[in-house]
Amino acid sequence: MTFTLSVLDQSFTRSPDQAPQALQETIAMAQWCEQLGYERFWVSEHHAFATLAGSAPEVLIAALGAATKRIRLGSGGIMLPHYSAYKIAEVFSLLANLYPDRIDLGVGRAPGADMSTAVALATDGRPKFERFPALLEELTNYLREPVSKPLVSPKPPENLPIWLLGSSADSAQLAAQQGLPYNLALFINPQAQSELIRLYKQYFTSTRKGQRPYGTITISAFCCDTEAEAKRQQHTFDVNFFRFVSGERNASNGGALLTPEQAADYPMTPQFAGFIAQRNQNRAVGSPSQVADAIQAIAKRYAADEVMIVSNIYGFEERKRCFELIKKSI
């Protein structure tokens, strides 16, 4: 099966005071992935996460554009209910004029934060998640109409793609109705139905000449030279993520991540074991050949045209090696 390979980066920081280093690592990773030949490099939007520095993808994309030459850059994604559709249209029109033929605008409905933070992000204290379909239509009209009202400045290029991101049947259906490319976030919802992209393609409605359905999956991967090391890196991430969702990480150690050595001693409680079992679906872990086989199988199962990889391996050099091994093995 033939598909395109891309990368999602979350500006992963090992402790809250290492954000400058994490952001420089994101820039260096974009350059590395461009050198390796990946198609696109997207950055995420998260708020109130002590160990994710990427809270404003539009700002980071501008820095990435200046540091790279060819690779497509995008948002994975802009959490549209927090913002004015008009403002997002102007921001990405500006980016697309700065870096022609290289910008993707990925938008999603999720808060990218807890609800108290979502309330703080809303200008009137009322998050507008229920208005997401209407906001998406407004955004599309601003960027697609020959003369929008009000006028979008600078003028949007005709080839600025709007992607819909999601992890459920609702998002797949909306992407099909709106005639947009679709990115299914399996790293967020590993249990997402395998039929979603097929159904999206089946019910796709073209809204512009030449439009065709295009489905991407984003999966978590831990690829190392040996299976044992890959599993050690996966375990480190699982421990740290479990400590976050259970509230343990915020209550101790100043929000910093455990190192692989520290994570190895973390107790395997029934709750933690159940958490790992849920996360193990639809992710690729192991040696290069094992990860390549897993990615191929997941892509085939979901009928994906493109696979986007997110890897939160603890060390930066090890993360670079992960993307190198994946690109060479597929």
Indicate the pLDDT class of residue 239, thresholds 50, 70 and 90. very high
Name beta bridge partners: 108.
79
Q: How many CB atoms lie within 10 A of CB 163?
A: 23
Which one, of 153, 136, 140, 42, lies nearest residue 94 by Cα?
153
| DSSP annotation of 49 | -
User: 286: closest CA among 297, 275, 278?
Assistant: 297
Which of 77-81, 230-234, 253-257 shows the lowest mean pLDDT across its residues?
Answer: 253-257
* CA-to-CA dists, residue 36 to 33, 50, 57, 212, 326, angstroms: 5, 30, 22, 28, 10
Please write the tens of the pLDDT for every residue from 7-50. Answer: 999 998 998 899 999 999 999 999 999 999 999 999 999 998 88
CB burial readout 266-300, b (16+ within 10 A) else e:
beeeeebeebeeebeebbbbbbbeebbebbbebbe
Checking if the pLDDT of 251 tops 50, the result is: no
Domains of the chain: 4-227+284-329 (3.20.20.30)
Per-residue CA distances from 221 to 3, 98, 112, 165, 295 (Å): 16, 32, 21, 19, 9
Q: From start to end of the chain, where are the E strands?
A: 4-9, 40-43, 72-75, 78-79, 103-108, 162-166, 182-185, 215-223, 284-286, 306-310
Of the candidate ranges 110-114, 169-173, 193-197, 235-239, the one whose mean pLDDT is the lowest: 110-114
Report CA Rg, the chain: 19
For residue range 262-298, list pLDDT tens digits in order: 999 999 999 999 999 989 999 999 999 999 999 999 9
Burial tier of 315 (Cβ tally within 10 Å: 0-12, 13-18, 19+): middle
Give the least confident one: 46-60, 108-122, 280-294.
108-122
Residue type for position 281: Q
The token pair at 112 is 């990218």
